[in-house]
A and B are shown apart, each in its own frame.
Chain A
Amino acid sequence: NAGVTQTPKFQVLKTGQSMTLQCAQDMNHNSMYWYRQDPGMGLRLIYYSASEGTTDKGEVPNGYNVSRLNKREFSLRLESAAPSQTSVYFCASSEGNRGRGQFFGPGTRLTVL
């Protein structure tokens, strides 16, 4: 099992460009999440999907959109990138209702110039 996979691993954008971060999990998990991690700020939840067909805002949703394409895949889109969105982005998944924790992908390091 690959667990949680993310693409791309690295990306450099110019201000105003758009891009989509892809995430997939093969653990048959119900819930999926997008976080960003910045120095001194810890992990901050951007959006999550408690189950297929549902999405909800997290702590820092502005400037982002998400799509839960199916049970396996959850994408994060930046429509018009800003330097403040320079960060490391992690996708995670969990069973959702068992309290057994979330499992993280390897991350995408994004730089917006």
Chain B
Amino acid sequence: QKEVEQNSGPLSVPEGAIASLNCTYSDRGSQSFFWYRQYSGKSPELIMFIYSNGDKEDGRFTAQLNKASQYVSLLIRDSQPSDSATYLCAVTRGARDDKIIFGKGTRLHILP
């Protein structure tokens, strides 16, 4: 089993709709969870982090964590063409962020 799994996509979503990105992880000891956005030809940019079960909202972004199911998701409301990018899920081994495992990412395409 891969440590962090994401559907590679592409995930196509109409402009204005909700984009839902999913991630599962294998290490039950993981304590911190991150979503990075990476535009083509650019570096990964940290957009959300979550530590506790439940939802965390920041603007149009909501991160959801379910530790029992080992599942993390990212919802993007009112999707814009500028949201088209690859989204990387990352989890820590334990609590330290010097041991982060990245998923391979999901390509998101927002259709104008």
Which A residues are closer than 8 A to B by beta carbons?
Answer: 31, 33, 40-43, 48, 50, 90, 94-107
Contacts and interface: CB of A to CB of B under 8 A. Distances in A.
Interface residues of B, number: 22
Most A C-beta atoms less than 10 A away, residue of B44, B102, B105 = B44
B88 interface: yes
24 contacts: A31-B97, A33-B98, A42-B102, A43-B88, A43-B102, A50-B98, A90-B43, A90-B44, A95-B97, A96-B97, A97-B97, A99-B31, A99-B32, A99-B49, A99-B51, A99-B96, A99-B97, A100-B32, A101-B32, A101-B90, A101-B100, A104-B43, A104-B44, A104-B45
Q: Majority SS of interface residues in chain B?
A: loop
Interface of B: 31-32, 34, 42-46, 49, 51, 88, 90, 92, 95-98, 100, 102-105
